[in-house]
Chains A and B, each alone.
Chain A
């Protein structure tokens, strides 16, 4: 059945003559521009993309179909792109592809439209969301999610949409310790995180001085007890050959 759906879409690519006019789009939307000079390349990319989807080589299919759509504005390329993203578990991108398909291609035939609506509903439900709570509206921390910078437009709470899996988050705010989070998100999970920025230590305050003094005294006592031993022990340790060093693990 899945193969049939893709075949229906591939026929559409050949038959559809009413395309979209050239346009430029931003955000998660794909932009496309139809130029007669690009038709042969778009067709070849589409054929390669559909061949890859029929062999379930989704990762290979995606760049071909995306480029085919950019060059042709054909709904069938976008449909297959959404289908491939969905198969790979890239639900956020799949949702965006199906949403764009339904909004930009109102002439989509009945069966494909029904499928697209159903997939859109499914993909919407599978997108995972990380909600960053308690960030003051006037603060603009730098948000790095899975190594990519997330723009902070000022909406609160900050919502980061993603797919299921293991993720890493870092928030950086001048004068504060970075806020770090690593964790697992399930399909469709909405996980609120309370973000607390801790100011960098300034060295002031009686409480901190008290601990520092205590630490110094404790260190002196311990050092006095084992000082000679430590010195000898250090001499027995291997030294690095390079001045670029990393230490792994502990005891």
Chain B
């Protein structure tokens, strides 16, 4: 078995092929409310992990503190399978490890990214979280309705047109594959799929990168 793996590795090396892909997720985090300490933690899993329950174990990026003004958090997600759909949870906690007693039911935003990995390509997406999803009324929620001081949902009617409701967890922003940026030159486009064939541009031009849209300094 090991011998076969070595042969395969050497063969691929000879061909000079990348076997991985990167999805560069850029999250604009909200400002911390005055006088309060909050941390944002991005958790990433494949879609076999339901968004309706908390996650533990590997797949968490270390949390970062919110600042007095909005800031970007950029996460490079490496994948090796083009058929994987990603689930992402951005949760807001009062302690860095999200295990403070106040963090029992941390407010969160949820995302589902349809097949963002194209082997040998780099793809991008930017999300903005304008405010921490805690609330006293529905008007406080950028997404969902106010349920027990958290922006959540009971039915899909509570969520926006590009969202679905995960009862008990909240509205899930669904990002389709054609919304995932990559493999095209020029300005940001509304769709990253061919209008004729519905192919994603990364299926046609895998080597074109557009790092100028990366929001974090390297």
Contacts and interface: CB of A to CB of B under 8 A. Distances in A.
Contact of A238 (B73, B122, B154): B122
Interface residues of B, number: 60
A232 B11 CA distance: 11
B13 to A, nearest CB: 4
Interface in A206-238: 222, 225-226, 229-230, 232-233, 236-238
Interface stretch (B14-22, B171-179, B186-194): B14-22
A146 B13 contact: no
B8 to A, nearest CB: 10
A17 interface: no
B57 interface: yes
The secondary-structure label for the interface of chain A is mixed
Nearest to B11: A229
Contact of A248 (B79, B104, B106): B79
B75 A246 contact: yes
26 contacts: A59-B154, A60-B147, A142-B99, A144-B99, A147-B104, A147-B106, A148-B104, A149-B104, A168-B55, A168-B56, A180-B57, A226-B6, A230-B13, A232-B16, A237-B18, A238-B21, A238-B22, A242-B75, A244-B75, A244-B76, A246-B44, A246-B61, A248-B46, A248-B77, A248-B117, A251-B80
Interface of A: 57-60, 62-63, 142, 144, 146-149, 165-168, 170, 180, 222, 225-226, 229-230, 232-233, 236-242, 244-251
Interface of B: 2, 6, 9-10, 12-14, 16-22, 24, 44-46, 50, 52-57, 59-62, 73-81, 84, 86, 98-99, 101, 103-106, 117, 120-122, 147-148, 152, 154, 167, 211, 214, 216, 218
